[in-house]
A and B are shown apart, each in its own frame.
Chain A
Amino acid sequence: MSSDISPNTIVPGRLSGLGADILAARILIVDDMAIMRKMIAMSLTKAGFSNLIEADDGDIALEMIRDQRPDIVILDLNMPRMSGYEVCKTLRRDKATADIPILIQSAAETAEERVEVFAVGATDFVSKPINQPELLARVCMHLENRLLINSLESYAARVRQELDLARQMQEEVLPTAEEISAMELGGRLAISHRYEASSELGGDLWGGWEIDDHRIGLFALDVVGHGVASALNTFRIHATMTRLSDYFDRPALLLEKLNAGLAGYMSLGHFATILYGVLDARDGSFRYAGGGAPSPIVFDETGACFIDSSGYPVGAIKSATYDERVIEIGVNQSLLLYSDVMIESKDKDGAILGQDGFRDWVQAEAGQSGDALISALHTRLVERTGTSVLDDDLTLVHVRRGAK
């Protein structure tokens, strides 16, 4: 709000003067008696207001409000053609005018009448005969409230826009359809995936790259927390990781270098759980290193088991080192990477699904295509939590090794 001070303010109860934006407010005075309009206008003019418009009946007032939207309406109740009650109701029904402050001025004194005034949507009430300082104090208060609410609303809208943009940028870091197709190595692998950003900004990311004609690198990570800080850290980790292409075929070393590259940049308590592995489509070996990401599941129709993904999250501890492990993924077997939102999902009684519960889901849905499996797991999650609005990012990446 402006800090300009009006020197001639005569509004009671104020330590400082009125801002220029308040004094610039357009005020509509509605009364069928010219003398009343004149008196109210005079007292507003004395306080420094200059943008005053007048109407002598309710129907005229509505027209003026449509054409030159006022910041506040000072409204009489009893007028020959259209009453103040009717004006209030009409303004409140229309979304475009529903939030204009309406200050009723009336001789109505019974409790019922006062209740009626507020029931039709008036913002406030002053009794006739009008006490001028009181009228001024109320006008200023409602103008200031409206200004504050407007500025909060526009701030909130801006934040919403920026968060949407950040969410969009985060989704753009995910692999594109072409990149995924390249990672399928000419049909040797089949990749299905689902990523869903939470209502807040989250920190999930997955991706990968073709290392040579029979191997791909594959990672899934989850940065701690939610919100802007976590999204920024996701970008930081992604940028650091893509610079480490010399180590793409050495998972443990890649995580060690990534961790070293992040140490000192991530603030305390911020880190990312991660898994990076190199899948050889020819012999089925999956050589990987874990940094505390949820344990991937290797499965087919006959069984499902976890692989050990324990290890220090990256960015948490300086000079952490990582173990390299190897497992074999058989022909027509699948590897599933997923984010913790799956295993931490709660049912209506607050019980978490847990790792074993999730593995049972995977096993139960195993006999179908990757896409169908992922959508079935998502459906189960929505059914379990009773909402499709997630409070954390969801990542599901399914890689099936084909016979080729």
Chain B
Amino acid sequence: MEYRIDESAGAATVTFQGDITFSENVTFRAMLKELGEMKPSSCVFDLSNVGLVDSAGLGMFLIAKEHADNGGFKLSVTGAQGHVASMLKLTKLSDLLDE
């Protein structure tokens, strides 16, 4: 997994590339730290280029959601397709993450 954070007027976009799985735990947490330091007013996870999210990946989204709630910014996801979209729907996390 790779990611890029873009920010414009307090609105952050994190664009992910590759799989978001258990083994990406450390990278994902590093991303959250970086994101937290930017103190955005909102953040969108762009999942257009993500092929696979496993259950640990979904767990990381939950952690991100908690970060967002604590940090006072709105978190949403966009661009989920195929397997990623069905995982979000299957676990109802799409409801929590304002897809």
Which A residues fall within an 8 A CB radius of B? 222, 224-226, 268-271, 273, 290-292, 294-295, 309-313, 316-317, 340, 343-344, 350, 352, 354-355, 392
Q: Report yes or no: A269 in contact with B62, Cβ–Cβ below 8 A.
A: yes
CA distance A170 to B86 in the complex (A): 29
Q: Report yes or no: B59 in contact with A225, Cβ–Cβ below 8 A.
A: yes
CA distance A150 to B22 in the complex (A): 31
Is the C-beta of B34 less than 8 angstroms from some C-beta in chain A? no
Q: Report yes or no: A271 in contact with B92, Cβ–Cβ below 8 A.
A: no
Task: Please give the distance in Å from B49's CB to the nearest CB on chain A.
Answer: 14
Is the C-beta of B51 less than 8 angstroms from some C-beta in chain A? yes
Q: Report yes or no: B66 in contact with A292, Cβ–Cβ below 8 A.
A: no
CA distance A355 to B91 in the complex (A): 15
- List chain A residues, Cβ under 8 A from B75: none
Q: Report yes or no: B82 in contact with A354, Cβ–Cβ below 8 A.
A: yes
CA distance A273 to B54 in the complex (A): 11
Nearest residue (CB) in A for B92 is A312
CA distance A20 to B56 in the complex (A): 47
Nearest residue (CB) in B for A223 is B55
Q: Report yes or no: A352 in contact with B51, Cβ–Cβ below 8 A.
A: yes
Q: Mark B78-96, 1 if CB is under 8 A from A, else 0.
A: 0000110010011110001
Given A273-B55, A313-B55, verify A292-B92 contact (CB < 8 Å): yes
CA distance A75 to B54 in the complex (A): 56
Which of A271, A317, A344 makes the CB contact (< 8 A) with B52?
Answer: A344
Q: Report yes or no: A292 in contact with B82, Cβ–Cβ below 8 A.
A: no
Is the C-beta of B60 less than 8 angstroms from some C-beta in chain A? yes
CA distance A292 to B96 in the complex (A): 14
Q: Report yes or no: A268 in contact with B63, Cβ–Cβ below 8 A.
A: yes
Nearest residue (CB) in A for B86 is A355
- List chain B residues, Cβ under 8 A from A226: 22
CA distance A294 to B55 in the complex (A): 11
Nearest residue (CB) in B for A316 is B62
Task: Please give the distance in Å from A101's CB to the nearest CB on chain B.
Answer: 36
- List chain B residues, Cβ under 8 A from A225: 22, 55-56, 59
CA distance A292 to B55 in the complex (A): 9
Which of B52, B56, B83, B90 makes the CB contact (< 8 A) with A292?
Answer: B90
Which of A313, A343, A354, A392 makes the CB contact (< 8 A) with B91?
Answer: A313
Task: Please give the distance in Å from B13's CB to the nearest CB on chain A.
Answer: 22
- List chain A residues, Cβ under 8 A from B58: 224, 313
- List chain B residues, Cβ under 8 A from A294: 90
Of the A-B pairs whose beta carbons lie under 8 Å apart in the complex, a sample of 9, sorted by A's number, is A224-B22, A226-B22, A268-B66, A271-B62, A309-B90, A310-B91, A312-B92, A340-B54, A392-B54
Most B CB contacts (10 A, CB to CB) among A225, A269, A292 go to A269
If A225-B59, A268-B63 are given as contacts, then 5 extra A-B residue pairs at C-beta distance below 8 Å, sorted by A number, are A224-B56, A224-B59, A269-B56, A290-B90, A309-B90
Given A268-B63, A269-B59, verify A317-B83 contact (CB < 8 Å): no
Given A224-B59, A268-B62, verify A311-B92 contact (CB < 8 Å): yes
- List chain B residues, Cβ under 8 A from A340: 54-55
- List chain B residues, Cβ under 8 A from A344: 52, 54, 83
Given A312-B92, A352-B83, verify A269-B51 contact (CB < 8 Å): no
CA distance A84 to B61 in the complex (A): 62
CA distance A268 to B66 in the complex (A): 8
Nearest residue (CB) in B for A226 is B22
Task: Please give the distance in Å from B53's CB to the nearest CB on chain A.
Answer: 9
Task: Please give the distance in Å from B87's CB to the nearest CB on chain A.
Answer: 8
Task: Please give the distance in Å from A66's CB to the nearest CB on chain B.
Answer: 46
- List chain B residues, Cβ under 8 A from A350: 51
Task: Please give the distance in Å from B26's CB to the nearest CB on chain A.
Answer: 13
Q: Report yes or no: B90 in contact with A269, Cβ–Cβ below 8 A.
A: no
Nearest residue (CB) in A for B91 is A292
Most A CB contacts (10 A, CB to CB) among B54, B59, B62, B90 go to B90
Nearest residue (CB) in A for B96 is A317
Nearest residue (CB) in A for B53 is A344
Task: Please give the distance in Å from A357's CB to the nearest CB on chain B.
Answer: 10
CA distance A271 to B33 in the complex (A): 22
Task: Please give the distance in Å from B16's CB to the nearest CB on chain A.
Answer: 16
- List chain B residues, Cβ under 8 A from A310: 89-92
- List chain A residues, Cβ under 8 A from B91: 273, 291-292, 310-313, 316
- List chain A residues, Cβ under 8 A from B59: 224-225, 269-271, 316
- List chain A residues, Cβ under 8 A from B52: 344, 352
- List chain A residues, Cβ under 8 A from B22: 224-226
Q: Report yes or no: A269 in contact with B89, Cβ–Cβ below 8 A.
A: no
CA distance A316 to B27 in the complex (A): 22
